[in-house]
Chain A
Amino acid sequence: MIRFLIKGLLRDPSRSLFPLLVVTLGVALTVLLHGWLGGVMHDFVDTSARFSTGHVRVVTRAYAEQEDQFPNDLALLGVEKLLEELRQKERELDWVARIRFTALVDVPDEQGETKAQGPAVAIAADLLSQHNELSTLNVPRALVRGDVPPRAGWVLLSEELAQRLGLTPGDRLTLIGSSMHGAMAIGNFRLAGTVRFGVGPMDRGALLMDLSDARQLLDMEDGASEVLGLFRNRVYRNAAARAVAQRFNQEYAKDTGEFSPIMMTLGEQQGLGEYLSYVGVFSRIMVVVFVLAMSLVLWNAGLLGALRRHGEVGVRLAIGEDKGHIYRSMLAESLCIGLVGSVLGTLAGLAVVYVLQVKGIDMGRFFRSSSLMFSNVVRARVTPASFYLGFVPGLFSTMLGTALSGIRIYKRETAQLFKEFES
């Protein structure tokens, strides 16, 4: 029966070509948009986690309230003990300490007088010891000039800021910041290299330095702005992250002081949870809208087809074929068209998504002033869901379109058929 239907479809392209094109296009667009949104969000979450939020993050309660000001006077102390404890209890994650602060980069001339100055946002991470964070921060890939810091006292600067200050690797620079106690902190460093992360906020004026250097500069012995936890495979899992945070916060529940530690998941920071929910909802709405739009188009196509096949259905009814059988055979035809269209649409969509995954689209100019951790080059992403996601709207819409237009079959009166044939 299926072979008979397929033969019919192949021999009469006008019966199948338009619905097939609609399904293919619809499915391809669904796969493409899903891949695009998925890629953007994955990139955003990954970048935020690596540079800013971790998959979970520990700060003091007081720090959490004003964290956008980098209030290191409210930073965590006794960090090494806390790290040891977390590394023992939560082995699924890598735990690292970081210090963030704003500083003025002052470039001296030969006489030691200020030649150039510029503001920087410094991230101090463990760049030199066993918990090397260079790969987490994508430093090797981001290097533009010079090399990674070889030892303490060497820093990395964003290429944009280095250019602005006229710095080249090996040059001396002075950092002026504010110590943990609010006093002015001044330290001399050398530029090891320059970096371009392809992330707007980082490229505008980031400075990377070793944690020990920042602790010395800011008078933060055994202190850190935050402790980050990242799942070892670097993939964020919300439920697992929430479980870790819950265990930790339960343990420190009795300590309600302003300097007691509190753990937050990625989703609980910087409104990322809302972003993720928003994109999830938007994705679903998009699929529903596509299904409805395609169904309407296919319903219309079905109606046109029904008009065109009015005589065929009449003959089939006249020779005694059951109305239900005709209806089911038309649904089976739609299933075939839906399947073929979904396969073709999925393949077409995947091809475009793959190209966008490899090449990406540079949207840096839109994120120039953004403080969000979006990569300048936005990439789509092929995920397992990309392979089957298009089938649901593809099959459902063709079936729905035919089901709606095919209802007319049941309205045909056998007694009227001969009159119709006569006319």
Chain B
Amino acid sequence: MSAVKNGMLSICNSVLLFLSAPFLVTFAQTPSGDWILARLDENLSSTSRVLVSKMVIRGRREVRTIEAKSWIQGTEKSFTEYLAPPREKGTKMLKIGDRLWMYSPSTDRTIQIAGHMLRQSVMGSDLSYEDMLEDPKLSHLYRAEVTGSEVVDGRDCWVVALVATSEKVAYHSRKMWVDKERMVPLRAELFARGGKLLKRMELRDVRRLQGRWFPMRIWFKDVLKAGEGTEFIVESIEFDLHIPDYLFTKASLTK
């Protein structure tokens, strides 16, 4: 009796499984938001990296170009030295966790950037010091949900809505368009708690580097600021290099 019952149940289950199969396949094709964030972090973060970059700041009056070299260790430490223009040459920045110091060679002073100063723009760009301090691993800061699918720059993208999991973030929510194939964001919109759009980002020139997809040009636009935005151009980048620990000390700022 029980065997018959079990047989009947397994047939019913098989029929149900057969009927619902197309729906299950469709569902499986849409990944979870958190899975997408994990893939993004794999692509965009590394144990360490050294990069030479250019920031082209298209202000209201003129275009300025700032060149810098950065050494980045995980998500906690980074050291940046500005190479050009002459006025900024020799300026150094050190980030350790949620603290940021700036060394100015003209004054021979090291200033900790804290409080309201964190909202100031970096070298007049559309990036703020707060942006620099943000943990680059999105999965540490946001919960994500896939809300749809759109084409951006001819590439099929997932539209992902991110909501911050803690209060200590610069942007309460984000909307990202993530390349389905390469798992790199191609566009992002950053919002304040009240839903006001604060910044726009467009990521271009995605290249395959050391087994990962990485955008070599990022265009930032602070929507509250005049001008045509800031283009962050990666001139050269190397991942997983050994960076000596002494570089991430305040003493190295004055050397």
Contact = CB atoms under 8 A, between A and B. Distances in A.
A, B in one complex: yes
A104 B118 CA distance: 13
Interface in A97-123: 104, 106, 108, 112-114
Interface stretch (B42-50, B67-75, B100-108, B231-239): B100-108
B225 to A, nearest CB: 8
B59 A181 contact: yes
Contacts of A176: 111, 117
Nearest to B64: A181
B109 A186 contact: yes
Interface string A297-339: 0000000000000000000000000000000000000000000
A179 interface: yes
Contacts of A106: 109, 111
A188 B124 contact: no
B133 to A, nearest CB: 15
Interface string B226-247: 0000000000000000000000
Interface residues of B, number: 25
Contact of B106 (A104, A187, A258, A259): A187
Contacts of A62: 60
Contacts of B109: 106, 108, 112, 174, 186, 188
Nearest to A111: B110
Contact of A259 (B61, B88, B111, B117): B61
Contacts of B112: 114
Nearest to B62: A181
A73 interface: yes
Contact of B108 (A112, A114, A179): A112
Contacts of B62: 181
A186 B93 CA distance: 14
Interface in B70-98: 87-88
B57 interface: yes
Interface string A177-195: 0110111101110000000
Interface in A179-216: 179, 181-184, 186-188
B123 interface: yes
A271 to B, nearest CB: 26
Interface in A203-242: 219
Interface in B184-224: none
A27 interface: no
A74 interface: yes
A186 B106 contact: yes
B120 interface: yes
Contacts of A219: 87
Q: Is the interface of B mostly helix, strand, loop or mixed?
A: loop
Most chain B CB inside 10 Å of its own CB: which residue of A74, A179, A182, A258: A182
B124 A183 contact: yes
Interface size class of A (residues with CB under 8 A): 20 to 34
Contact of A174 (B61, B107, B113, B120): B107
A119 B187 CA distance: 38
A19 to B, nearest CB: 66
A112 B251 CA distance: 12
Nearest to B126: A182
A62 B57 CA distance: 20
A22 B57 CA distance: 74
Most chain B CB inside 10 Å of its own CB: which residue of A112, A184, A188: A184
Contact of B111 (A74, A114, A178): A114
B61 A182 contact: no
Contacts of A187: 106-107
Given A179-B124, A187-B106, A73 B60 contact: yes
Interface in A55-111: 62, 73-74, 104, 106, 108
Contacts of A112: 108-110
A113 B110 CA distance: 7
B120 to A, nearest CB: 6
Contacts of B107: 174, 186-188
Contacts of B60: 62, 73-74, 258
A365 B88 CA distance: 45
B120 A184 contact: yes
Given A106-B111, A181-B62, A183-B88, 20 more contacts: A73-B59, A73-B60, A73-B124, A113-B110, A176-B111, A176-B117, A178-B120, A179-B124, A181-B59, A181-B64, A181-B123, A181-B124, A182-B123, A182-B124, A183-B123, A187-B106, A187-B107, A188-B106, A219-B87, A259-B61
Give the 6 A-B CB pairs with smallest separation, nearest first. Answer: A182-B124, A181-B124, A186-B104, A183-B124, A183-B123, A188-B107
Interface of A: 62, 73-74, 104, 106, 108, 112-114, 174, 176, 178-179, 181-184, 186-188, 219, 258-259
28 contacts: A73-B59, A73-B61, A73-B124, A74-B60, A106-B109, A112-B108, A112-B109, A114-B111, A114-B112, A174-B111, A181-B59, A181-B62, A181-B123, A182-B121, A183-B121, A183-B122, A184-B113, A184-B120, A184-B123, A186-B102, A186-B104, A186-B111, A188-B106, A188-B107, A188-B109, A219-B87, A258-B60, A259-B61
